[in-house]
Structure 1
């Protein structure tokens, strides 16, 4: 048993990684920690854009590929009741986001940030079923949804865990809150390809995008948080806390 434990600890140590040497490292006792992190994360987004991080098996961020997203929401009013399943999704634009604010509360293993993405585009295969303004909506095909000037608030909560004698920040929750100034979407093949009905519903969605986003926000924000948590966790679960935030 002792030998098995020693082997497990050795394997865990061997699995530890460090961040690339050219990444800016922010010391957690630095009085200007938040300013440093704002600059560092901005650089990380650019580097992750097209190449990802092969040393951590982290895929490129541009576009961010997601196998499936399910948005199922009964709106706060009777005007919207919708279920949308997106598969083979590609989310464009995250690597080009501007970091507006970054606040680290490392004693509590919490990170908060705010980003602005000028153009965020989602492409996917979709299946939709529901109602918009008492209009039954069904369809299956290709879709694209583009948000303009999307502001996202990021709230990351973690906890300290020990593995192989090293401390890691285990991510527990990634909460997002977002808003956008404009949206344009198009869903092909609504109503089994009925062009008149399809064009009408697409126009209604675009003309009333702010209302629709507000109705669907809880589900949309939850799904975005899951996507970003899964991506960020590939770094935090492999790189020790002291390597990410040196003392």
Structure 2
């Protein structure tokens, strides 16, 4: 779930202000602050949602909504194509904790968000032993999506770069809506949707990884712009 790279960038982004470049809603934190982690957590809470809306002066595009385009799930049992995919809700994230060790070049970000994915879908296959097929509009609501990511980072030519990361995620629940299942057979569609919502973990094992990979693509591009624009010594003041 490298999606949290975008929020990790928010942490760096907020950690120190680059005068004349960063918006006024950014609160600077200092590396010498004994409560540095708490300072960054507080700053992310305030500025993170605005970052997700995009920052035109830095060329950073909105991440809420995140436009993913095409997402493909392709395995022997189930094939799903999502087109014009849009994810909303990242801007409403809640920081659970943020820990940073500047000397060792390590950081850990833990956050939670409620997100909704909407797309046009084309689906054919089976979930467990239940056949499913359709072509229409899809809506997936994910409750309490919690992401924990650990980073290694270093400065290269005066700019920060992430050298390695490990991540994990879990969610409390996912709920599905698919229009035009089985060519509009309402009775069969209602039964199938009920089955999917009762067994949401199984289908999310198939849908979540490729969808999150697409979110990552959008996030990483905006992070790259940020790191190229602001030197490391201005991202975290002394």
Common fold: TM-score over 0.5: yes
Task: Give the 5 Å matches for 1:96-245.
Answer: 96-117=92-113, 119-162=114-157, 167-171=158-162, 175-214=166-205, 218-219=209-210, 222-245=213-236
What SS does the aligned partner of 1:229 have? helix
The whole-number CA distance in structure 2 between the counterparts of 1:213 and 1:158 is: 31
Q: Is the 8 A contact 2:151 2:164 kept in 1?
A: yes
Q: Displacement, 1:176?
A: 4.1
The whole-number CA distance in structure 2 between the counterparts of 1:200 and 1:135 is: 10
Q: Displacement, 1:159?
A: 4.1
Larger Rg: 1
The whole-number CA distance in structure 2 between the counterparts of 1:190 and 1:110 is: 47
Q: Displacement, 1:109?
A: 4.1
Match of 2:10 in 1: none
Q: Displacement, 1:188?
A: 1.6
The whole-number CA distance in structure 1 between the counterparts of 2:72 and 2:84 is: 12
What SS does the aligned partner of 1:237 have? helix
Q: Is the 8 A contact 2:69 2:85 kept in 1?
A: yes
Q: Paired residues, what number?
A: 219
Match of 2:29 in 1: 26
The whole-number CA distance in structure 2 between the counterparts of 1:240 and 1:193 is: 56
Q: Displacement, 1:102?
A: 0.5
Q: Is the 8 A contact 2:21 2:57 kept in 1?
A: no
Q: State which of 15, 19, 36 in structure 1 corresponds to 2:39.
A: 36
The whole-number CA distance in structure 2 between the counterparts of 1:131 and 1:35 is: 47
What SS does the aligned partner of 2:29 have? coil
Q: Please, which runs of 5 or more residues in structure 2 have no aligned partner?
A: 1-19
Higher RCO, Cα 8 Å, sep 6+: 2
Q: State which of 63, 66, 75 in structure 2 corresponds to 1:64.
A: 66
